[in-house]
Chain A
């Protein structure tokens, strides 16, 4: 089955840029979606189809996808961005939805 790999944690100072990666075999050929989840809350879609932002998501959130790595980039990080972030794809060969293990973003 298809596997998505994320680093468990990323730390960044306020105002800096956070990059959260999601690794998968030839993930560049798939559409990657990213979710933000704060404690006690349901996940929120922050980037869909590799690089598109849903309405209401700040422009500071952006995404890219190529080769074996997809990346969620958060510019000018704020304290309120501290959360868990998950990548997700649909694996057409199995018809399964697959989530990465999640990355905890800590704002120092």
Chain B
């Protein structure tokens, strides 16, 4: 069974940093493209970015709203993807989901809440 478990969310001040983790199991993580998607309270889904596999040189791409502030990385030896959030803004407050992309996002974690507030 595919499982994705996010962790690392919490309360952070504007301008602060946070590191989210996504622990994967039940599938060939090292060969998978992993994405992060966020959702502010009462709002729609917003794609944050993705990291491809080693075969694709761990290529990353980011949404314009987070480019230059967020970084996605992965440790295939730990079956874990990461989202590094820097220079956080109040509008970054959201539930952050990691997801595996095959034919669409076929597996999602339960999400982790990031709250940016002073």
Contacts and interface: CB of A to CB of B under 8 A. Distances in A.
B11 interface: no
Contact of B104 (A48, A96, A100, A102): A48
B47 A49 contact: no
B97 interface: yes
B87 to A, nearest CB: 21
Interface of B is mostly: strand
Contacts, number: 53
Contacts of A49: 103-104
Given A96-B47, A97-B50, A42 B103 contact: no
B110 interface: yes
Given A96-B47, A98-B47, A101-B44, A42 B104 contact: no
Contacts of A96: 47, 61, 63
B44 A45 contact: no
Contacts of A42: 97, 108-111
Given A42-B109, A97-B50, A86 B44 contact: yes
A1 B104 CA distance: 20
A51 B106 CA distance: 15
Size category of the A interface is 20 to 34
A95 interface: yes
A36 to B, nearest CB: 11
Nearest to A33: B104
Given A35-B45, A42-B108, A102-B44, 19 more contacts: A1-B64, A33-B103, A33-B104, A42-B97, A42-B109, A43-B45, A45-B104, A45-B105, A48-B104, A52-B103, A54-B106, A88-B104, A96-B47, A97-B47, A99-B44, A99-B46, A99-B47, A100-B44, A102-B45
Interface of B: 35, 37, 44-47, 50, 61, 63-64, 97, 101, 103-106, 108-111
